[in-house]
Structure 1
Amino acid sequence: MVHLSHKFSTIPINFIPKQFSKHLPQQIPSQTTPPFIPFSQRQNQRSLLESQLISALNCCTSLTQIQQIHARILRKGFEQCCYVLTKLIRILTKMEIPMDSYAKLVFNQVENPNPFLCTALIRGYCLQGHVKESVFVYSEMRKKNVLPISFTFSALFKACGVVNDVDLGRQIHGQTILIGGFGFGFDLFVKNSLIEMYVKLGFLGCGRKVFDELPGRDLISWTELIVGYVKAGDMESAGELFSELPKKDMVAWTAMVTGYAQNAKPREALEFFERMLNEGVETDKVTLVGVISACAQLGAAKYVNWIRDTVENLGFSPTRCVVVGSALIHMYSKCGSVEDAYKAFKVMEEKNVFSYSSMIAGFAMHGYAYAALELFHEMVKIGIKPNKVTFIGVLTACSHSRMVEQGRQIFESMEEKFGISPGVDHYSCMVDLLGRAGCLEEALNLAETMPLEPNGGVWGALLGACRTYSNPDIAQIAANHLFELEPNAIGNYILLSNIYASAGQWNDVLMVRKMMRERGLRKNPGCSWLETKKGVIQEFFSGDMSHPRYGEMKQVLEDLLNRLKAIGYQPNMNSIAYDVSDEEERRILITHSEKLALAFGLLDINADFPIRIMKNIRMCEDCHSFLCAVSQITRRVIIVRDNLRFHHFHDGKCSCGNFW
């Protein structure tokens, strides 16, 4: 066993820095016969010295300073003082000094550690991700009959959540019941930590059971469970729980607002936010980011202008608040106005990696690769280190513009220059980049040899490239992986069927369509929406003929179709997922949601303004070629955002280069 007292006892008193001297006694009592001091006075002196040592530890900013104060602790006979040593371990934890290298050695010198000292070490191990060690310390304290405290269990529950170990969490949950005679069975702090753990691990039923059995609940209890439902996408249960909450604070309101935004319910998010404002509830940056995200999903100028003014009125100027400013940049980009996004970026008084990453992503989704690269090099030049999100934006920009060599260099620089290990999303970008450039064999090789397990994004990028370059062999390989990873994603089946159809492999087309029927797969209804000249959002669903102006819209589409056929346009029937009659095929194609939205836009929106359409799923090949041709014969600018990127149609061309 290492004797720390031997290590530090030789450090002279005058080695302690001046800034700590006022906290420590200046003279050591003589070792000759000491004068008689009454017990009460000795106790007062010891308490004073404890306070001085604690104050000195609070001032430490380095390991060297901690060691100097520790030497004083040993010289003054406090090596068994749990109160002082608990503070020492907490300071070591705060400074992220490995527990085994120092704190554990300090702990091992204590003959009778109390619950607070044990908990300090457990918490330190937990925060550093060493869950096994923290559980070992807990086991040892139980063997020594040292009773845990509330903070002991909260630290252990948090650690179980971090390492995704629900079995261990349940065992520790059992401990709180076994030691229930000491109040842990109904300790609110412990129970809230337990709810948080179950929620984080996805065991909402267990979390709800703990919540329901609590005799007294506080805001934390309610909010933890609401957040759990939000993360699980169960906004109905979250809303019911929120309505039962006796006193609703900003955290609970924000959980609901951001929850609706994250679960693709932007209108509900905005409604909740307006209720929040009307009830006079304070808002913070987190709330505003959630609302801004909801506005970005809707893509309507009406909401964009409203949230911009609201942010200013609430005192969160986007020019000074980086978080809000970055969220607004993202919103402008998602709403189709990369120009407004760049204006917002330029006027920001302070910029960080998040604001740069938002702007780079905005340029990337609109196809402005050179602007994205220029901004990336600018941020590196001024000393802002890019993060993983930054590189996704830059690689996406290179991919959309088929800048293969630039993409390779940036991908390689991630680890070599910036010390960032590429994630699955970065490999997905590289596969997409190689695929768009026609390097299908290289893209396949990268997907098969990458050090991480490829996900649906990787194989989906390769499958999309096979459509462009008509390679059914590699498409089959990519599709097989996708069918295993995403068995119910009907878009993958349709894409493979279209690739086979383009290659004239009709037997394979029938095979894929049979698979779809056997698995009961139905295509998600396409939904498109746009903002009218009166600021009202109009929604259109594929195949829906119930719109009040459907007769006018149908006439517009038929007129366009006749004009397009005169210049050689032919509908792409491969976009139909099932075998139907020719007449039914034409009806299905003409009532795709983006075509209905386009027809309404041509009727409603002035010719001087672009028609901006938002769509919930990927645009099919027929609609893409149709909108390209319409932009040519009508001389209208048409901007469509699908779930992949923006398409700017103008004069018969699309900004995506017919690759999306």
Structure 2
Amino acid sequence: MIRRALSSPFQLIHLLQACSASRALIQGKQVHRQIILSGLHQNPFFRTKLIQMYADCDDLNSAQILIHKMTQPNVFALTAFLGFYSRHRLTEECIRTYCQLRLMGIVPDSYVFPKVLRACAQSSCLDVGAQVHKDVIIFGSEVNIQVCNFIIDMYSKCGNTKSARQVFDEMSERDVLSWNSIISGYVGNWLFKQAVEMLGYMKLEGCEPDIVTWNTIMDAYCRMGLSNEAYKIFKQIKDPNVISWTTIISGYTSIGKHEIALEIFKDMVNSWTVLPDVDSLSSILVSCRHSRALERGKEIHGYGIKSIAQDTFYKSAGAALLTMYASCCRTRDAEKVFHIMDKSDVVTWNAMIFGFIELGLGHLALECFREMQMRGIKNDHTTISTVLPICDLRSGKQIHAYFMKSSFNFVIHVYNAIIHMYSICGCIAYAHSVFSAMLARDVVSWNTIIGGFGMHGLGQTSLELLQQMDGSCLRPDSVTLSSALSACSHSGLVDQGIELFYRMTKGFGITPVIAHYSCVVDMLARAGRLEDAYNFINKMHLKPDKHIWGALLAACQDHQNVTVGELAAEHLIRLEPHDAGHYVTLSNIYARAGRWDDAERIRKLMEDHGSLKPSGNSVIAP
């Protein structure tokens, strides 16, 4: 009866398509047997359909056997292989198959192009991607919206946003995916302002943003350090998904607003509409680590192992959990997590190394690194960049040499760690040599070398590097300006530093934050221009914090400026009335000026506020 039902070629095709769609390999093989019995297996159309079914069901071996029997493979059969390679991120095989397809003289279509373009994007293979783009034009697929969207994505992920934008601008018709592709392309290449601008153009063109658009714009704001702006977007989303919640939590975590991140996570849990996943749990555990919120961290740990499979939870969130426990000095808990995690996974060892560093046990971190090598666990770029900051010059040079011989020696953030290592070890010339040899740099690369020269009192070089960076494709960020201002402070370049501060907004589009104001105050104070520093503080657009007044008070003690010291101490005591240090510093200033009555008065005021530290009592009986 089954054979009668399968005797129709139309029915056989329909069943093959159903097997492909549901990836039912066993049933697909049964249909294949019936096709052989029906004598249709030599038919090129049926052979192609069988190849498609086997490829869709991930039985590549059977698909290859069938295609080798074809005298002239067609585009549909090869598309099935491209789909398999693309789906499994086998980018080299995908690109090679496309090249073979072209050598055979087979004309690619709009089903082929997205698959190979995705492979080019995943492997950052710009040369092949550009050739595929030419083929798209030659074979008339440039009017296909889906193909154009993949071209935009390919150029963006290969770092060529100019070509991506050109393709976008030349599209006769765009959909929401087109806009999302160009916006995410800008975000992926650190061009956050352009991404936000594209949102405005999108609305003007009448295209309604979807949840992906909003999440991407939120990510852009978060990466700019503007998490409050991201939160405004978040509040406008009618039904935020788990990515929305995770993005805003990560945004506040990245700028150190950990209490806010914890509150948002609490809102997420209480909303009952979205369940936290491993990514959101990993993000919030970072905030638990920085704010030492051990109890919250333990609650999240408990939630994770109850709601997510143990292997999945510890594989994704285990590293964040381990470092959280280490930061809270819960060594045994950290060790327990380490023992549960997969010892063959480099992420496990990276987390343990970082955990030891967090505990201030650099020697144990290095021992862990050596044990990892003895076990044959292959280091990755995270291992190298984590270990380098605790290395002395000798060890750092050895790791640098190892890195240059490794297969991942193109990773930018490892170069950044090497530059930092040489800078703090006093070898700024080596640091600059590494920086100069980099084929590609990110904002952190520039920030590290600018800060390195500043650390060594070479502020003029730091300013020259800032100018070079501004002329490159990368825009200086808030940290860059902090590094440059700090360099001016340490080098006595007061006038240049003041000029740089006042052109931050217009010249670089950066709104000064408290760290920038603090740099300027420190710069003026170091130079002995204490009245200028005080006047500058009074003109600040932000409320001065204890660090700014503290820097000024400390400088007043160094330069013995009683008048400004009194003013700075007054503000500090108002902010922290129970901190004995402020009273002591002002009392010492009075004493050095011979104003003994005032010194005694401040000591008495300190006692009245309960700030006087009690005298030590010996436990040894006289």
User: TM over 0.5, yes or no?
Assistant: yes
User: 1:425-444 counterparts in 2 under 5 A?
Assistant: 426=414, 429-430=417-418, 440=426, 442-444=427-429
Question: Which segment is superposed worse, 244-253 or 277-286?
Answer: 244-253
Distance 1:142 1:432 in 2: 46
Aligned to 1:156: 151
Aligned-residue offset at 1:544? 8.8
Aligned-residue offset at 1:285? 0.7
Distance 2:31 2:256 in 1: 57
Distance 2:97 2:83 in 1: 12
- Whether 2:362 is the aligned partner of 1:362: answer no
Aligned to 2:588: none
Please point out which of 193, 196, 205 is paired with 2:197: 205
Aligned residues: CA RMSD: 4.9
Aligned to 2:593: none
1:599 is aligned with what amino acid? D
Aligned to 1:407: 396
Aligned-residue offset at 1:301? 4.5
Aligned-residue offset at 1:101? 3.9
Aligned to 2:47: 49
Distance 1:154 1:52 in 2: 30
Distance 2:230 2:49 in 1: 47
Contact 1:463 1:479 in 2 (8 A): yes
Please point out which of 384, 392, 402 is paired with 2:377: 384
Contact 2:218 2:247 in 1 (8 A): yes
Distance 2:131 2:320 in 1: 44
Distance 1:56 1:146 in 2: 28
CA spacing shift, 1:308–1:155, aligned 2, 3 Å: same
Contact 2:122 2:157 in 1 (8 A): no
- Whether 2:257 is the aligned partner of 1:265: answer yes
Aligned to 2:579: 599
1:106 is aligned with what amino acid? L
Residue deviations 1:144-165, cap 9 Å, x none? 4457544312311211211233
Distance 1:283 1:91 in 2: 31
Residue deviations 1:459-486, cap 9 Å, x none? 534654x4xxxxx6xx456655566567
Distance 2:374 2:420 in 1: 28
Aligned to 2:97: 102
Contact 1:345 1:355 in 2 (8 A): no
Distance 1:306 1:292 in 2: 10
Aligned to 2:68: 71
The alignment partner of 2:340 has SS state of coil
Please point out which of 172, 190, 193 is paired with 2:181: 193
Aligned to 1:232: 224
Aligned to 2:508: none
Distance 2:32 2:616 in 1: 83
CA spacing shift, 1:107–1:57, aligned 2, 3 Å: farther
Contact 1:363 1:397 in 2 (8 A): no
Please point out which of 163, 166, 171 is paired with 1:171: 166
Distance 1:126 1:308 in 2: 36
- How many residue pairs match? The answer is 506
Question: Which segment is superposed worse, 424-433 or 45-54?
Answer: 424-433
Aligned-residue offset at 1:356? 1.8
Distance 1:321 1:315 in 2: 9
Contact 2:354 2:365 in 1 (8 A): yes
Distance 1:541 1:321 in 2: 40
1:290 is aligned with what amino acid? S
Aligned-residue offset at 1:288? 1.0
Contact 1:230 1:259 in 2 (8 A): yes
Aligned to 1:515: 496
Give TM-score, length-normalised by structure 2: 0.66
2:185 is aligned with what amino acid? M
- Whether 2:324 is the aligned partner of 1:331: answer yes
- Whether 2:546 is the aligned partner of 1:542: answer yes
User: 1:479-494 counterparts in 2 under 5 A?
Assistant: 479-480=462-463, 484=467, 489=481
- Whether 2:280 is the aligned partner of 1:287: answer yes
Aligned-residue offset at 1:332? 3.7
Contact 2:431 2:449 in 1 (8 A): no
Aligned-residue offset at 1:373? 0.9
Aligned to 2:235: 243
The alignment partner of 2:579 has SS state of helix
Question: Which segment is superposed worse, 293-302 or 583-592?
Answer: 583-592
Contact 2:450 2:480 in 1 (8 A): no
CA spacing shift, 1:243–1:158, aligned 2, 3 Å: same
Aligned-residue offset at 1:236? 3.7
1:244 is aligned with what amino acid? Q
Aligned-residue offset at 1:282? 1.0
Contact 2:110 2:141 in 1 (8 A): yes
1:266 is aligned with what amino acid? H
Aligned to 1:219: 211
Aligned-residue offset at 1:266? 2.1
2:347 is aligned with what amino acid? F
Distance 2:465 2:333 in 1: 35
Structure 1 portions without partners, runs of 5+ = 1-19, 30-36, 467-471, 501-508, 528-538, 546-556, 558-570, 603-629, 637-660
Contact 2:453 2:487 in 1 (8 A): no
Aligned-residue offset at 1:381? 2.3
1:169 is aligned with what amino acid? A
2:379 is aligned with what amino acid? P
Contact 1:356 1:379 in 2 (8 A): yes
1:57 is aligned with what amino acid? A
Aligned-residue offset at 1:127? 3.8
CA spacing shift, 1:601–1:71, aligned 2, 3 Å: farther
Distance 1:429 1:112 in 2: 48
Distance 1:198 1:428 in 2: 23
Contact 2:482 2:515 in 1 (8 A): yes
1:273 is aligned with what amino acid? F
CA spacing shift, 1:91–1:139, aligned 2, 3 Å: same
Contact 2:322 2:338 in 1 (8 A): no
Contact 2:246 2:280 in 1 (8 A): yes
Distance 1:434 1:190 in 2: 44
Aligned-residue offset at 1:58? 4.4
Aligned-residue offset at 1:370? 1.4
Aligned to 1:549: none
Aligned to 1:84: 77
1:444 is aligned with what amino acid? A
Contact 1:196 1:207 in 2 (8 A): no
Structure 2 portions without partners, runs of 5+ = 1-27, 470-475, 503-513, 520-542, 583-610, 618-622
Higher helix share: 2
CA spacing shift, 1:269–1:61, aligned 2, 3 Å: same
Aligned-residue offset at 1:273? 1.3
1:222 is aligned with what amino acid? W
Aligned to 1:460: 451
User: 1:278-317 counterparts in 2 under 5 A?
Assistant: 278-280=270-272, 281-301=274-294, 303-311=296-304, 314-315=307-308
Residue deviations 1:313-340, cap 9 Å, x none? 645769961322211223344x452736
Aligned to 2:5: none
The alignment partner of 2:184 has SS state of helix
Distance 1:426 1:45 in 2: 56
Distance 1:432 1:193 in 2: 35
CA spacing shift, 1:140–1:345, aligned 2, 3 Å: closer
Aligned to 1:33: none
Give TM-score, length-normalised by structure 1: 0.63
